[in-house]
Structure 1
Amino acid sequence: MATLHSYPFCPHSRFVRLALAETGLETDIVEEKPWERRIPFLEMNPAGNLPLLVVDDGLAVPGARGIADYLDDVCGGDLRDRRLLPQEIADRVEVRRLLDWFLGKFHEEVSDYLATEKIYKRFMPAELGGGPPDMGAIRAARTNVRYHLKYIGFLISKRNWLSGDQMTYADLAAAAHLSVVDYLGDVPWEENEMAKEWYARVKSRRSFRALLADRVPGMAPADHYADLDF
């Protein structure tokens, strides 16, 4: 059985957990605290980034994009109409463009700030950067999430799912990153009903159940976090 090294509130790890659940590939999950940089983990993945998928033959596949591509290479053809990276070239380009948006831009401007300042730093020792959150970074993330939410609403106003008619990696990446922000109560859902309706559809899927069960020790989620109807 494959093994996924991940952290429950790492947004990239959450994306891969969703992708694995939608693909149907069973994995053992090993919790990896990203700030610890354990030597055995670095020997498998010198970059030290999460997540990391180690498959049965020992192949180590690092990073959210790398794992998504691996899953499509290995399982995509068998999924047929449930394929998360579409067959048509133009559709694949659009999915990858949105992956760059959410795994890159959204992460850098919103989810990385909030996960680090509100969650990671609670458990990191001071010598590794732990301590009180940077309120300036939190304010910036709360400002930035608003235009990302508007962009999601714009896409859904023209499409059934973010990249087109079918759910793809783009939806899973966006929802995974938003789920961390939503746990913390920092998504202004009242500002965009279309984005809220789309997110409710994604978090109602069976693949999302494990994410909704995650809890930060000593920090309860927003009241609506696990409510499928908001």
Structure 2
Amino acid sequence: MTDPPRVLLADDQTLVRTGFRMILGADGIDVVAEATNGAEAVEAARRTRPDVILLDIRMPEMDGLEATRRILAAPQAGGPRVIILTTFDLDRYVYAALSAGASGFLLKDVTPEYLVAAVRTVRTGDALLAPAITRRLVQRFARRGSDTASLHRDLASLTPRELEVLGLLARGLSNAELATRLHLAETTVKTHVARILAKLGLRDRVQAVIVASQPTNLAVSVGAAGWLTALV
């Protein structure tokens, strides 16, 4: 894709929106709309059909979780990618948003370079899984299996190599990093990832992390690929 991503910013803090808009604009990324609450975000997504939505998790009138659900369920929005903006004070809401189909999440103190990279990454269809954040995600899911019931999957259909790749995905590794770690061509890694997502009926890497982090699946994966200790 050669055109820059079209972005919707949704946050009830004016300074956050202003700062993010300036950072994205400096890199040639167009902010097509702003919203101060979830209801406005849903309407703006329908009206402007952005490529990427930066969505605060806690907003008045409608929170980011409900807004994520409504935006991703509405064909009029054009299938945007949602990045949740949060602090870890609200972990459980973040995880629910990821289960609803969000493509990743960022801390609000993210660096300008990472913000720009995140928007461009999810716009291409990938998921945002920073390793440090992913470890928190895995640890919380390992303790809260009930939070992920809607994404339960049986890993028995995966080959030993696919289980190994899934374990590394859950650590936040990119395709290039996976290729280096496994001594494979990057095209081969992409094939493995695509097969994993297809076999498990998953949307993207974020949902793969959710599935891999369920207690029952952690046990299966440890037995087949031995990667649990590296996750925590």
Name the TM tier (shorter chain): under 0.3
The structure where strand makes up a greater share of residues is 2
Give the TM-score normalised by the residue count of structure 1: 0.27
Give the TM-score normalised by the residue count of structure 2: 0.27
- Give the structure, 1 or 2, with the largest relative contact order (CA under 8 Å, sep 6 or more): 1
